Amino acid sequence: MQQPAEVEHGFARAAPLVEAQVGRLIAGRHSQPLSLWGRLRRFVVLLLIGLSHPRRREFLGFVVLDLVRAVALPGYLLGDYAKSWQEDTDFLEELRAVSPHEDRSAERKFFLRSLAGLVAHLPGDTAEAGTFEGASSWFICRALQNTGKTHHAFDSFEGLSTPTPEDAEYWRKGELRAREETVRELLSPFDTQVHKGWIPKCFEAATIDRLCFAHIDVDLYEPTLQSMEFFYPLVVQGGIIVCDDYGSALCPGATQALDEFVAGRPEKLVHAPTGQAFLVKQ
């Protein structure tokens, strides 16, 4: 139903003001702390304005998410909205194809693909320690398709190894088990070698001259450190090593392993807000 002209003009005048108010709400830039009821009142104001622009509807949805967050996860930072990577249809189609039930890692997959694309001009192959079901390896291969590189995927396919005291108490031996056949099938369009075995033993069977990109996603202290010890000397200058688990509070051992390894070396870690960290080989 069409709104009267004066109402439409009223919406047009009021929308920027309310949008700015809710922007301050989400960003935490309001003069006084808002109670849950205060947040609800602002949400109702937005709803009554009846914003019709897609971006404003998205903004309204973010207000709803912020209300839920305030109750369920009061210490959690929601971040911002209108991120263009979430509108990258090519990436989203690929994500749905290779990892249809794992939206929580979408931003990490996107960032990983972006980093991998930076080394296309460098000599050397690519590798991943901790392949799991193969989605991250798939995005690495996809980003570097037709560059003549071989991808090496390492995994026990028996789940995690035994955690050590550095890993706290979250993980258990055997968790995150995946099927080797699933990974081989997923990566079959690319030039890949899948190496089954426990780290670091599985590295011994791999013939790798040099690497331009390495991804480590093994969650635990010992295999993270052992993967760095194996990959680092093989990575060419300008090559990139990424650790998926560095910023996860569930993986303190991985964080410790990476910090210990880079101590005294020229490279500096870049800790991304996705929870990943990477370095560029000097």
For residues 18-34, average pLDDT: 51
pLDDT of 57-67, one tens digit each?
Answer: 777 777 778 88
Highest mean pLDDT among 14-23, 33-42, 81-90, 129-138: 129-138
Decide if pLDDT at 52 tops 50: yes
Q: Please tell me the chain's helix, strand, coil percentages from 3-state DSSP, rounded to the nearest 5.
A: 50, 15, 40
Please identify which residue in the block is written with the tokens 């090593």.
241
Compute the mean pLDDT over every residue in the chain, rounded to the nearest whole number.
87
For residues 30-44, average pLDDT: 65
DSSP sequence for 161-223: ----GGGTTS--TT-S---HHHHHHHTTTS-EEEEES-TTGGGGG---S-EEEEEE---SHHH
Decide if pLDDT at 130 tops 50: yes
Helix (H) or strand (E) holding 239: strand 235-243
Return the half-sphere exposure (C-beta side, CA atoms, 13 A cut-off) of residue 241: 27
Q: If phi over 0 gives left and psi between -120 and 50 gives alpha, with beta otherwise, what is residue 27?
A: alpha
Q: Which of 101-105, 197-201, 256-260 has the lowest mean pLDDT?
A: 101-105
Q: Which amino acid is at 227?
A: S
Share of the chain above pLDDT 90, in %: 68
List Cα–Cα distances, 41 to 64, 72, 94, 150, 189, in angstroms: 12, 19, 40, 57, 53
Name the residue among 144, 132, 79, 147 with its Cα closest to residue 102. Answer: 132
Domains and CATH numbers, the chain: 5-72 (no CATH), 87-280 (3.40.50.150)
- Residue 67's pLDDT is 81
C-alpha 90/C-alpha 75 separation (Å) is: 34
Name the residue among 115, 143, 129 with its Cα closest to residue 234. Answer: 129
- Collapsing DSSP to helix, strand or coil, 47 comes out as helix
Q: Which amino acid is at 214?
A: A
Helix (H) or strand (E) holding 136: helix 135-143
- Residue 23's pLDDT is 52
